[in-house]
Chains A and B, each alone.
Chain A
Amino acid sequence: MVLSGAEIVIRCLQEEKVEYVFGYPGGSVLFIYDALFNQDQVRHVLVRHEQAAVHAADGFARATSKVGVALVTSGPGATNAVTGIATAYCDSIPMVIISGQVPTAAIGQDAFQEVDTVGITRPCVKHNYLVKDVRDIASTIRKAFHLARTGRPGPVLVDIPKDVSMQKCEFEYPAEVAMRSYNPVLKGHQGQIRKALQLLLEARRPMIYTGGGVVLSDAAEALTKLARALGFPITNTLMGLGGYPASDRQYLGMPGMHGTYEANMAMHYCDVLLAVGARFDDRVIGNPAHFAEEPRKIIHVDIDPSSISKRVKVDVPIVGDVNEVLHQFLQQLDASPARPEPDALAAWWKQIEEWRRRDCMKYKHSDEIIKPQFVIQKLWEVTGGDAIVTSDVGQHQMWAAQYYRFDQPRRWLNSGGLGTMGVGLPYAMGAQFAHPGKPVACVTGEASIQMCIQELSTCKQFRLPIKICNLNNRYLGMVRQWQELFHGGRYSESYMDSLPDFARLAEAYGHVGLRVEKPGDVEGALREAFGRKDDLVFLDFQVDQTENVYPMVQGGKGLTDMILSSEDL
């Protein structure tokens, strides 16, 4: 069948079973939008800013494990998309971004709305392509989807010049992708796994530390089985929350800069550490030299060899897909009569329970002023722990991660790697499209929400009943916290004057807005909001301006060097 390049693009998306494309039209993608108009299999979500298109597609991918798809025009459309692409790249989210480009003859002529999109995005994509021939569109898009979802996932950009989208050729979607330069290893090395298992079974102070890789490879079930079979303590990073049920006894909470006392102490003082789909990020282990001071054997399972022995030296590297490798672990464990030494494990747990008794998550409740932690606790109660929670970046993000207990994967959507303010609302949009009937809460701050607030309009158009929980402290809270602790309390440009009345702003967009000022009203407001099944409700909680996120490990310090509360200062 002879089709235009634009029609081929849409046919490819249909072949990939893409349900939603998040995008924004413009000159160089007009033919593609025309092809979109003539069908109803692939639905298009018109956002209000290209950054939000990419974030929403990214949120859709995080909530489902499908490939998120965004469509933008050349020049400013592409540059607006860059923040979204970099955000997805840093968290290894599978995405395909299609961008329009000026006609091939105009490339390099400083044409209207021309930028070198492939050049600009090169460092923040898994791979990208400029398609110069209409006959290459189908095979390129096929490869793009393949690259995005296999190996270590990531965003792939396909740049299509306007004339290429107009030219015609015979369409055939390739059934297979064969790339001699790209063959990710999926199965782990059995010998290495045997070695690892032996280390684990002989350990006296074992610890499991898992990250986003567990969520990305849909390995929560296998991980939970393995952790339970071994009876070891376990911690999930900010990107890995929900990989193991947070309400389980074996779970020690999140590690790292704002991790729990018990998780950080156990990470530091264990004698064998099993790291799965995690990358020893600076926000997780603090100062690597300090971390290396305590002798321990490290086993590291990761799909990406370059993540292994990058920041800490690993004793048993295992390259492979996390889910595959965990199943291999389970099979070998099943086949072996050996089990962990119960006395050693009991002694280790005794030590951990002692650490746990420090109760590092406690905070002073108030009847006068709303504590942000309290809002998250109530959010958890009111939603029965079953909402999809997105967040922006700042203190509210840490409180959401700390106080909402995620028992399942893909319920917690946030920008962990790049730390992009503005993702919260678009992530909630993507999640709500993916799960129309499910409660979706966006935990945000009054600064972050304003970075993509225009999307309230998109939410109206598509009737997305998101619940926005704005922890409004009238400060760039996380910045204020650092200024208080490390810059002598000089609050340089971290106070936000002239804030809008968010409840009325939400109403202006056609939504419901509620302003909540008293701790006694928090639960009622949340119940009302979640009771309104069809409405987007913007809850503007006026929270304590001076509250800080604890525990805290200062940047560059060792993991055990924690400030547990303001009394430690």
Chain B
Amino acid sequence: MRHVISLLIENESGALSRVSGLFSARGYNIESLTVAPTEDESMSRMTIVTTGSDDIIEQITKQLNKLVEVIKVVDISESAHIERELMLVKVRATGKDREEMKRMTEIFRARIIDVTDASYVIELTGNQAKLDAFIGAIGPELILETVRSGICGIGRGDRVLKL
């Protein structure tokens, strides 16, 4: 089962390697991991997308909690939540493809943020499925390069991950 784990961690050097080291040492999967400081600079927030049986997910959250610098851990996928990922795609944009790319961008509510006479850079946010669908719709022959941020997640409603 796929889970999205959010955690708050002290913004110290080496904190990221403690988390990633834990996953590799114990053989847990990481599908994606994002991290950046929060509005309180002394803390970072991480979103880890992982897969595993209930027992493994239980161990993952316990092991994360055990790290001295980890402040809080929640499995936000246990209830209603929102996931977003940012993707930048550089596409070939010449001839009739130029119009086609613009149309696609509109359909997916994406934005063209860089233009040359041969290419566009398109910016798109959404959940994983939407980003995958966009790539599928464009087709591999026109894609020059893609970069995805990995997932950021947040609970819906009044569920708050805060100190």
Contact with A along B23-42 (1 / 0, CB 8 A): 00100000000000000000
Q: Give the chain A neighbours of B69 by CB distance below 8 A.
A: 127, 181
B53 at interface by CB-CB < 8 Å = no
Is the Cβ of A127 less than 8 Å from the Cβ of B66? no
A118 interface residue (CB < 8 Å to B) = yes
How far apart are A115's CB and chain B's nearest CB, in angstroms? 15
B147 sits at the interface (CB 8 A): no
Binary contact readout A107-124 vs B (1 if CB under 8 angstroms, 0 otherwise) = 000000000001100110
B62: contacting residue among A126, A182, A306, CB under 8 A: A306
Kindly state whether residue B112 has any CB partner on chain A within 8 Å: no
Say yes or no: is B71 at the interface (Cβ < 8 Å to chain A): yes
User: Residue of A at shortest CB range from B15?
Assistant: A181
**Is B17 in contact with A181, judged by CB distance below 8 angstroms?**
no
- Our pick among A122, A180, A305 for the contact of B17 (Cβ within 8 Å) is A122
Total number of A-B contacts with CB less than 8 angstroms? 36
Q: Which of B7-60 contact A (CB under 8 A)?
A: 9-10, 13-14, 17-18, 21, 25, 55, 58-59
Q: Which residues of A contact B151 (CB under 8 A)?
A: none
Query: What residues of chain A have their CB less than 8 Å away from a CB belonging to chain B?
Result: 118-119, 122-123, 126-127, 130, 147, 179-182, 304-306, 309-310
Interchain nearest-CB distance for B151 vs A (Å): 24
A306 to B21, CA, bound (A): 17
Our pick among A119, A147, A180, A309 for the contact of B163 (Cβ within 8 Å) is A180
A118 to B25, CA, bound (A): 16
Q: With A and B bound together, what is the CA distance between A347 and B79 in angstroms? A: 49
A sample of 16 inter-chain contacts (CB < 8 A) reads: A122-B14, A122-B18, A123-B21, A123-B25, A126-B68, A130-B13, A180-B163, A181-B10, A181-B68, A182-B68, A304-B66, A305-B62, A306-B59, A306-B62, A309-B55, A310-B59
Known: A122-B21, A123-B25. A180 touches B62 (CB 8 A): no
Bound together, the chains give a CA A73 to CA B15 distance in angstroms of 24
B88 at the interface (CB under 8 A from A): no
Smallest CB gap from A143: residue in B: B68
B residues with a Cβ closer than 8 A to A are 9-10, 13-14, 17-18, 21, 25, 55, 58-59, 62-63, 65-66, 68-71, 163
Residues of B within 8 A of A122 (CB): 14, 17-18, 21
> How far apart are the CA atoms of A147 and B68 in the complex, in Å?
9
Residues in B with CB closer than 8 Å to A304 are 66
Cα–Cα, bound, A304→B70 (Å):
15
Contact A305 B21 (CB under 8 A): no
Contact B70 A181 (CB under 8 A): yes
- Tell me which residues across on chain A come within 8 A of B18, comparing CB atoms: 122
Residue from B10, B18, B62 with most neighbouring chain A CB atoms (10 Å): B62
Question: B12's closest neighbor in chain A, by CB?
Answer: A129
Closest to A180 in B: B71
A160 shortest CB reach to chain B, Å: 16
B163:A306 contact, CB within 8 angstroms: no
Task: Please give the distance in Å from A334's CB to the nearest CB on chain B.
Answer: 33
Instruction: Give the chain A neighbours of B14 by CB distance below 8 A.
Output: 118, 122, 130
Q: Are A309 and B58 in touch, CB under 8 angstroms?
A: yes
CB neighbours of B68 from chain A (8 A): 126-127, 147, 179, 181-182
In angstroms, Cα B66 to Cα A306, docked, is 8
- Evaluate contact between B17 and A119: CB separation under 8 angstroms: yes
Q: Are B17 and A306 in contact (CB under 8 A)?
A: no
CB distance from B59 to the nearest CB of A (A): 6
Alpha-carbon separation in the docked complex, A284 to B87 (Å): 50
Bound CA–CA A122/B58 (angstroms): 22
Residue of B nearest to A310 (CB): B59
**Chain A nearest CB, measured from B92 CB (Å):** 41
Q: How far is the CA of A522 from the CA of B33 in the complex (A)?
A: 63
Chain A residue with Cβ nearest B65: A305
Considering the chains assembled together, what is the distance between the CA atoms of A360 and B63 in angstroms? 39
Task: Output the nearest chain B residue to A305 by Cβ-Cβ distance.
Answer: B62
Q: Give the shortest distance, in Å, between A372 (CB) and chain B (any CB).
A: 37
Assess the A181–B71 pair: CB atoms within 8 A.
Answer: yes
